[in-house]
Structure 1
Amino acid sequence: MNPALLGLAVNPALPCRLVDQLIHAADEDLAGELALRADLNRAQVRALAGRSEGVAVQLAYKGCLRPEDVDPLSQPLAALALLDEGAGPSEWARHFAADPLVRHREKLAECRGLPQDVVRVLADDPDVRVVTELALWAPPRWAAELAHHPHAAVRRSVAGNEATPPQLLAALLTGEGLPPLRGCRVCDQEEVPFVHAGDCPRTDCTLMSGDACDGSHQSAVHEIRWQALHNPATPASAVARFADHPSALLREPVAAREGLPQPVYDRLAADPVPMVRAVLAQNPSIDETLMRRLAEDRGHDVQRSLAHHPHLPLDLLARLAATVRPGPVPLPRIASATPAELAALAASDDAALRMLVARRRDLPDGIRDALARDRDAKVLCAIAPHPGLTGTQLLALIDGHGTRVALKAADNPDATAAVLERLARQPGPARRHFLAIARHPNAPLPALLACLTDPRARPVAAARPELPGSALLDLLADEDPRVVQAAAANPSLPAESMRALLP
């Protein structure tokens, strides 16, 4: 598809009559782009829906289609999308519940708020895929019934459904009070006993590595338990019993579960698998004694995870600061620190700790300004995007501390036009910040024009409405189709140029 037409399709300044022309000429790709427009009228919506069922589905989920716009016989997927949105009539649901195509019944089973008689039909469906899908979203009454289903796939879905009654989630962990399973995905297709090898050569095989069944459906039972242990509606007392289970994959959700007795957490702190201890380290329910114990744990990711604990004592945070892998979001304990705590942390001799403080974006002015005068480049990189820094402060950071800090200054939402223009003139590797400049709402025209010289920033800058029409005309002939598409989508493109692009 012509990238200029794809861009034109979403151009908010495209006149209505030209939208009509594009719809008339649209293939499925172009129709999909046109469906993204926010100004489509009723006639345009119906015309687009008639171009392709995929586009009709897109419009249904966007809330543009009405039941009278769709024929469920010729566009069943669009009708199912309306049912999924709660906008389709009950008659459609009853029709699809008896549809011979499994994929239609399966899609129907995803829909919420179906009539009870339709749910009854789906719960009794002869194809386990339909019942499995229904069990994922079923309300409590139906989840309770489906917990007794003989197939493991259905019970796995019930185990992950937060509407399942807690007592049944506990039963799914042990199997107590439930009828025996009679099927799983392994014994459905293989003679038991069977263990699926990880290097299975069959290209059409749907089994997963390690799938096994000896008549007890052991891998399927493991999956049911895994789902139930991750389900927050499962009673804590039932979860706690799995703290010593032989499978680390089942102990891991126990370690993450809040509200368990402290002795359970103490046992998990001695788990032989570092992954389990790392998950435990972030659990808000562990006490300070256990946090201090885990602070000495050299297992993979344990200390780093502990640094993300929301109630970590500040002395432990100071010890763990060097283990943290910085991210865009401040650590929970930093985010909840009081102004007095922040002031103490920001005055630390440890640059790694000051850097963690600098990643907050709501620092008191005094702390923010003090960190902007820091001597450590890591701290300056962290503070440079902080809102509230003046143009003078940002220019001082750019001029005094090189490329790394300049790159971060370009991300500051309060960067002024003067700052961004200075950044656009930075030589050498600092040109990597062109992408951030091209996205910045305060970028002046000279800076945007400079961004057009950078291959990565060029498609972003081409979409900026501040560009003059003459620049956009040049961009429509660019070798990069992303640039052409962005220029054609630019609302500053002259109307006569829009008309010239139409087939």
Structure 2
Amino acid sequence: MNHLLCGLAANPALPSELVDRLIAVADADVDHDLAGRADLSRVQAVTLASRDEGNGVLLAYTGRLTAADVDPTAQPRVALALLDEGVGPPEWARLLAADPEVEHREKLASCPGLPPEVVETLAADPDVRVVAELALWAASDVAARLAEHPHAEVRRAVAVNEATPPDVLAALVSGEGLPPARRCLVCDREEPPFTHSPDCVRPDCDLRPGASCDGSHESTAHDMLWAALENPATPAQAVAGFADHPSMRLRWVLAARPGLPPEAYARLAVDPTPGARADLAENPAIDDTLIRALADDASPDVRRGLAHNPRVPLDALTRLAATTRIGGTLLPRIASATAAEVEELARSPHAVVRMLLARRRDLPAAIRDALADDPDAKVAKSIAPHPGLSEARSRAMIDRHGVQVIAGVAANPDATPALLEHLSRHRPPARRAFREIARHPHATAPALLACLADERAKPIAAGHPALPPEVITDLLTDTDPQVAEAAAANPSLPSALMERLTRGLLS
């Protein structure tokens, strides 16, 4: 791979005539970067697509090609991409439904808006992979019909499809009213009884790990049940009874479902699997009684899941925060807190609660500033990236807490150029802050030069347009190919140097 050429190919400031020059001689790696450009002309896009079908697929999905630019017989994958985008003509679908390549017919089966006769052709395809793919995306009437397909793999796909009618999904769960499946992927390949080893080393084997069939297609039937239980279109009454099913996997998927009767949730709350209880704890459908019971669960994963429940009462959340590592995300209940609740949280005597509130990015100015002045470093660290903080308050925060808050301050979208320079000179240095400074749009040349001394920040800084041209030029010969490529992609690279590079590298 020529990293300089790849960088130039992605450089948004590369003149169109130099793009043409690269297109004329580029290899596959450079082609891929050229195909990702937003400024390609139609001629350039068609040229790239004609040279490599993978480029054509990318260009089709990004709207750079039209049906007039593509021959579906020469470039079926590109034609399929346009069909997938809903802009390919119906005659392409008819043509590709008879394509000898199974992968092409399988992709076609996932495309929207297919003509009815094409859907019928695909539904009768001799390869079950094509029919199963159709079942995943089919409209409700076709999905209902495919629920009676003799192959269990097709029924499993129907169970995944949210367009499948609820009564059909209920029938797949109960098995009532449907003829039994006659085949599955396992007995298609092996004589039952057979269990596929999870450690299978056969290069031509595509069976799922642990897939098995004793004549009842049991692993596929289990997967179909799992899909139906997860499908939100499946009626709650059809799945509630699985709350105490012997299969841990089925109970687990049920724990996240809304609309179940309270007794089903109560059974899941005492499930022996912590993961199932954790998903249940995060489920906004559970009532306050279960929420408070799960708040005392011995598993930290369950308590962490409950903290992410949008309906958890604030007093319960406060207790959870004191005993559970919740992570760095904004909790839904904190995000939806009312103005009065925000004020209450800001006054909490518990620093961890104030920290959770500080992760919001829409706080009133007075509360934002009070949290920035908080004596606890973890509160200040959380509020540091909040927009609107003044430079003076950010500097005071750094004086109080040092390296603990510097990266957060550097990530603030309102950080000034002077503040970013100040952060880049801090001693001891905060390594993570260099990466934030290197990608900040307000970063200046002095701040970026400091970032170049950090191994992880250097490739980011090398692509920053505020870097001086002479520094960018020097970075083109850096021993780290990522740095050299980023420098070549830097829009501040002098155009004369772009010209010389393309001539020298392509000669």
The answer to whether the superposition gives a TM-score over 0.5 is yes
Cα distance per residue 1:16-38 (max 9 Å; x no partner): 11111111011221111111111
Question: 2:268, 2:280 within 8 Å by CA — same for their partners in 1?
Answer: yes
Question: 1:28, 1:51 within 8 Å by CA — same for their partners in 2?
Answer: no
Residue 450 in structure 1 maps to residue 440 in structure 2: no
Aligned positions of 1:356-435 closer than 5 A? 356-435=356-435
Aligned positions of 1:150-169 closer than 5 A? 150-169=150-169
| Structure 1 residue 284: Cα displacement | 1.0
Question: 2:307, 2:326 within 8 Å by CA — same for their partners in 1?
Answer: no
| Structure 1 residue 300: Cα displacement | 4.7
Counterpart residue number, 2:232: 232
Cα distance per residue 1:415-446 (max 9 Å; x no partner): 11121111100123413311100111111221
CA distance 1:209–1:12, change in 2 (3 Å)? closer
Counterpart residue number, 2:21: 21
Counterpart residue number, 1:258: 258
Residue 500 in structure 1 maps to residue 500 in structure 2: yes
| Structure 1 residue 373: Cα displacement | 1.7
Residue type matched to 2:440 in 1? Answer: H
Counterpart residue number, 1:7: 7
Counterpart residue number, 2:351: 351
Aligned positions of 1:167-178 closer than 5 A? 167-178=167-178
Residue type matched to 1:395 in 2? Answer: R
**Distance in 1 (alpha carbons) for counterparts of 2:76 and 2:200:** 37
Question: 1:282, 1:306 within 8 Å by CA — same for their partners in 2?
Answer: yes
Counterpart residue number, 2:322: 322
Residue type matched to 2:317 in 1? Answer: L
Q: Which structure 1 residue ranges, 5 or more long, are not aligned? A: none
Cα distance per residue 1:438-459 (max 9 Å; x no partner): 1111112211121122221111
Cα distance per residue 1:221-249 (max 9 Å; x no partner): 11001001111111111121211211111
- State how many pairs are aligned: 503
Residue 74 in structure 1 maps to residue 98 in structure 2: no
Residue type matched to 2:22 in 1? Answer: L
Residue 57 in structure 1 maps to residue 57 in structure 2: yes
**Distance in 1 (alpha carbons) for counterparts of 2:45 and 2:374:** 57
Question: 2:5, 2:30 within 8 Å by CA — same for their partners in 1?
Answer: yes
Counterpart residue number, 1:313: 313
| Structure 1 residue 204: Cα displacement | 3.9
Question: 1:304, 1:323 within 8 Å by CA — same for their partners in 2?
Answer: no
Residue type matched to 2:61 in 1? Answer: Y
**Distance in 2 (alpha carbons) for counterparts of 1:201 and 1:66:** 43
**Distance in 1 (alpha carbons) for counterparts of 2:463 and 2:454:** 14
| Structure 1 residue 402: Cα displacement | 1.7
**Distance in 1 (alpha carbons) for counterparts of 2:478 and 2:146:** 58
| Structure 1 residue 368: Cα displacement | 1.5
**Distance in 2 (alpha carbons) for counterparts of 1:430 and 1:300:** 31
Question: 2:304, 2:326 within 8 Å by CA — same for their partners in 1?
Answer: no
CA distance 1:482–1:321, change in 2 (3 Å)? same
Question: 2:93, 2:114 within 8 Å by CA — same for their partners in 1?
Answer: yes
Residue type matched to 1:75 in 2? Answer: Q
Q: Which structure 2 residue ranges, 5 or more long, are not aligned? A: none
What is the CA RMSD across the aligned residues, in angstroms? 1.5
Residue type matched to 2:367 in 1? Answer: I
**Distance in 2 (alpha carbons) for counterparts of 1:197 and 1:300:** 34
Aligned positions of 1:445-484 closer than 5 A? 445-484=445-484
| Structure 1 residue 327: Cα displacement | 3.9
Counterpart residue number, 1:83: 83
SS of the equivalent of 2:446 reads: helix
- Scaled by the length of structure 1, the TM-score of the pair is 0.97
Residue type matched to 2:75 in 1? Answer: Q
Residue type matched to 1:12 in 2? Answer: P
Counterpart residue number, 2:332: 332
Instruction: Report the more deviating stretch, 433-442 or 364-373.
Output: 364-373
Residue 125 in structure 1 maps to residue 125 in structure 2: yes
Cα distance per residue 1:109-148 (max 9 Å; x no partner): 1211111000100000010011011111001111111111
**Distance in 1 (alpha carbons) for counterparts of 2:124 and 2:86:** 23
Cα distance per residue 1:169-192 (max 9 Å; x no partner): 111112111110111122111211
Instruction: Report the more deviating stretch, 463-472 or 108-117.
Output: 463-472
| Structure 1 residue 326: Cα displacement | 4.2
| Structure 1 residue 198: Cα displacement | 3.3
**Distance in 2 (alpha carbons) for counterparts of 1:209 and 1:83:** 33
**Distance in 2 (alpha carbons) for counterparts of 1:358 and 1:324:** 18
Aligned positions of 1:282-321 closer than 5 A? 282-321=282-321
**Distance in 1 (alpha carbons) for counterparts of 2:297 and 2:282:** 13
| Structure 1 residue 63: Cα displacement | 1.1
